[in-house]
Structure 1
C-alpha cells in the first residue's frame, strides 16, 4: 500500500503513524497546531500542563512501536521505577502495601514525551509530519474514502485515512456528509476539575518515593497525584468532582489537606513552587460506539480520544492510544473488524472508570447492581491490600491494563480478601 494519512499529531496520531509506516510506503500526519520546535506545551493539548500518567502497559507498547524510546527519555531526564516499590497508592482511604510489582513506570512531562515521540516518528522512513494543516472533510468514491480536504482547498489523496483528532473529532458529521449514520455516543457527565502546581524536587522529599496517588472515595470525592519529573521537579495535580482546588498556594495546600491521606499536603507545604498554577476541566467522559455500526466507508479508521475520551483522572488515555496504534499492525484494516478489535481494548478501562465515577456524588448515570457489588468488593479488597503486597500487585496489574478486572475476584485473590478480615484492616502508616 502506498499512502496513509493520519489526522492529528497527538500521541494517538504519532503512535498510529509509527505503526502504519511498517505497512505503507508513505505516511503523512496532519495537525492544525503550529508544532513546537522544542519540547513545550501546545494549544491542542489542553491537559499538557497537568499530571500525565503513562501506565506500565503503555510504556511497554511504546517501546514495541518505537524501540528504545524509554531509554531515550531516561537519557533526557525521565525517571523510571517499580510502580509498587517506589510509589504510594491510597485507594478507598487505605494505603496499599508496598512490594515489588514487576511493573516499570516511566515518569516524564507531556512536552518531553510528545516531543521525543514526534522526533522519532518524524525520522521514520516515508513519514512526514505537517503542522498548521486543518482538515475540513473527506474525499470519497464508490463507498471508499480516498483522501482528505484541507481548509486552504488542497486535496490530499490516501489509501487509508486515520482520524486521531481527539475529543474534537468531526468524524460524526463527516460521516453524515457521506451518507452514513454516526456512531451511538455514550456520555458520563463527570465535571472533573483540575488544579496543578509544579515544585522543585529534593531527593529527600517523600523519602525518595517518586509517585503519590490518592484516589477519591464516595465520602471524599477529591483526588490528587504527585509525579517526579525531569529537571528535579514535582508536578502535583489536585482533582475534584464538581469543584476544583483554589489556585492560590494557601488554598491549594488547604485543599490537599482534605484528601484521604496527608502525603500531598505535606509535600505542597514543604516544596518550593515553580511557575504559575493552571486549571483544567473535563465535563464528561465520552465513548463513540463505532464497533456497533453495520455500515462504514472503507479506507477510513478512527482511534484514540476520537473513539473514547476517558476521565483523565485515571491516566489511561495514552496507554489505550498506544494499544490501539499497535492494533493497526493487524493485516486486516477493514474498518468494522478494526473497531471490534479496539472495542476489546477500550472495554476494560471504560468499565473501570465509569464504575468508579458513578459512585461519586453528583455524577448522574445508571449505577447497576453489578457495579454496586463490584464497588463493595473493591472497598474490602483495598482494605485487605493495606497489609497484603500480593493484593496490591494484583490491583496494579489491573489498573495498568495487564489483567482484566475479574482477576481481582479470582479464587486466589478472593481467599486472601476473605481471610484478611478486610473490614477491620488497618492502613500501613505513611
Structure 2
C-alpha cells in the first residue's frame, strides 16, 4: 500500500527463502517465522475488501490460482425458506485460501512492484535513533550483520514475537504498555484435498464448541480444506489429538463434521501451543514512547486465531497506518498520536471482544474437563 502511494519501501524478511514459482508449491514453503503457517486459515470479508481495493494484483493472483470465493450471508440465506440475498450483501464477499497461498500471492505481488525492495535472510538487531529530546526519534534499523539502514519511518510487522519493546528500551525509550496473557489453547490441525476440486458440505458452523474442545473446519483454495481441533493446553488427554486415528474417532462421533475427513491428507497434524492475547500501547498519557516507528498487526495486538480475524485485522491496521502516514509523515509526533488514537478507537474493540470470548470459552472448557456444568454469563 505504501509503495502504491509513491514511497520507496524496503522489506526486511528474516526467512531466507522467497516465494515458490506457483501457489501449489507454496504449501511446502518453509516459513519458520510464521508459527501458524501450516494450520487452518480464513480471510474475512473486510480483509478481502481491502485486498481487492488496495492490493489489486494480490487479489488477481488469488483469483487466478484457485482462491475460494464465498459469502457467508448468502450461504446462510440459502438455507432459509423464501430468503434471498440483497444487493448490499455483496459487501460480505470473501476471497480466502490457505495461509501458504495467501502469503505466496502477497509476496509475488510485492516482488513484482517496482517501488518495493525485498531483502530476505535479513534480521533486525536494533533501532537507530536521534536522542536529542525526551522522546527518542527512530531513524532506521541496525541489522544483525552490522549494516545500518536509515529510513523516514520504520514499521514493525514482525508478528507475535516482536522484539520492539526490548529494542525501544535499548535506545532509552519508555516501555510500551503491555497487556498480555497466554490464551490457554492448544491447536491440532491438518489439511485435506478432494479428488474433484470440491470442498465438504457445510452443515454445521465453521467453529463448533463440543464441551472441552472445539472443532474448526475451513474450506480453502483449489479443493483443499483444514480440520482443526483445539482445547486447553494443559488438558493432557486432548494431546492425543496429535494422532490421526484419535482425530478420526472423535469426528466419527460428531456426525455434522465426520465428512470433513473424507479427503486426501496433505500434511501431518500440525500443532501450535502458547498463543498469546496481547495488546500494546505505544503512547502513554499522551506522550509517544518513540517517534519514527509504528507497530502494526500482531506486533501491536494479537489474539487467539480461532476466530479467523488475524490477517483481516492486520490489513485493517495497515490501511489505518497508511491513512495516518498520508496526513502526518512530516510531523512524527502527530503521526504517533494519530496512529495510536485511531488504533485504540478502531482496532482495540476487536481485540477486547476476542479476549472476552476466549475467557468465556476457557472457563467453559475447564468446567467440562472437570465434570462440571458451565455457569451462564
> Is the pair's TM-score, using the shorter chain for normalization, greater than 0.5?
yes
Q: CA deviation at 1:140?
A: 1.0
Residue 289 of structure 1 and its aligned partner are, at CA, apart by: 2.1
Higher relative contact order (CA 8 A, sep 6+): 1
Structure 2 residue 244 is matched with structure 1 residue 249: yes
Aligned residue in 1 for 2:280? 288
Quick check: 2:199–2:219 contact (8 Å CA) kept in 1? no
Consecutive unaligned residues of structure 2, counting only runs of 5 or more, are 21-25, 330-334, 366-375
Map 1:12-411 onto structure 2 (within 5 A). Answer: 19-38=1-20, 39=26, 40-86=29-75, 100=85, 101-102=89-90, 103-141=92-130, 142=132, 143-201=136-194, 202=196, 206-207=200-201, 209=202, 212-216=205-209, 220-242=211-233, 243=235, 244=238, 246-256=241-251, 262-268=255-261, 270-292=262-284, 294-330=287-323, 331-333=327-329, 334-362=335-363, 376=377
User: Using the alignment, how far apart are the partners of 1:336 and 1:363 within structure 2?
Assistant: 39
Q: Which moved more, 1:231-240 or 1:158-167?
A: 231-240
State the Cα distance separating 1:148 from its structure 2 match. Answer: 0.6
Residue 128 of structure 1, CA deviation: 0.4
Q: CA deviation at 1:346?
A: 2.0
| Partners of 2:274 and 2:76 in 1: CA distance | 26
CA distance in 2, matches of 1:43, 1:87: 37
Distance in 2, matches of 1:187 and 1:241, equals: 18
Pairwise CA distance, 1:147: 0.9
- Whole-angstrom CA distance in 2 between matches of 1:43 and 1:361: 28
Q: How many residues align?
A: 336
What corresponds to 1:417 in structure 2? none
- SS of residue paired to 2:102: helix
- Shifted more, 336-345 versus 319-328: the winner is 336-345
CA distance in structure 1 between the aligned counterparts of 2:109 and 2:164, rounded to whole angstroms:
28
Cα 1:343/1:215, change in 2 over 3 Å:
farther
Task: Determine helix, strand or coil for the equivalent of 1:51.
Answer: coil
Greater shift, 152-161 or 278-287, is seen at 278-287
- Measured on the aligned residues, the alpha-carbon RMSD in Å equals 2.8
Distance (Å, rounded) in 2 between the aligned partners of 1:274 and 1:280: 18
The alpha-carbon deviation at position 151 of structure 1 amounts to 0.7
Q: TM-score normalized by structure 1?
A: 0.71
Whole-Å separation in 1 of the counterparts to 2:213 and 2:54: 36
Q: Kindly state the Cα deviation for residue 37 of structure 1 after the two structures are TM-superposed.
A: 3.5
**Deviations 1:151-195, CA, capped at 9 Å, x for gaps:** 111011111111111111111111112222111111243221111
CA spacing shift, 1:84–1:282, aligned 2, 3 Å: farther
Give TM-score, length-normalised by structure 2. 0.80
Contact 2:182–2:275 (CA under 8 A) maintained in structure 1: yes
Cα deviation digits, residues 90-135 of structure 1 (max 9, x gap)? xxxxx99986453112231111111111111222232101111110
User: What's the secondary structure of 1:37's corresponding residue?
Assistant: coil
Task: Return the alpha-carbon distance in structure 1 between the equivalents of residues 216 and 16 of structure 2.
Answer: 30
Tell whether the 8 Å contact from 2:18 to 2:120 is kept in structure 1 after alignment: no
Segments of 5+ residues of structure 1 without an aligned counterpart are 1-18, 89-94, 365-374, 377-430
Given that 1:188 and 1:354 are in contact with CA atoms closer than 8 Å, whether structure 2 keeps it comes out as: no
Whole-Å separation in 1 of the counterparts to 2:322 and 2:57: 19
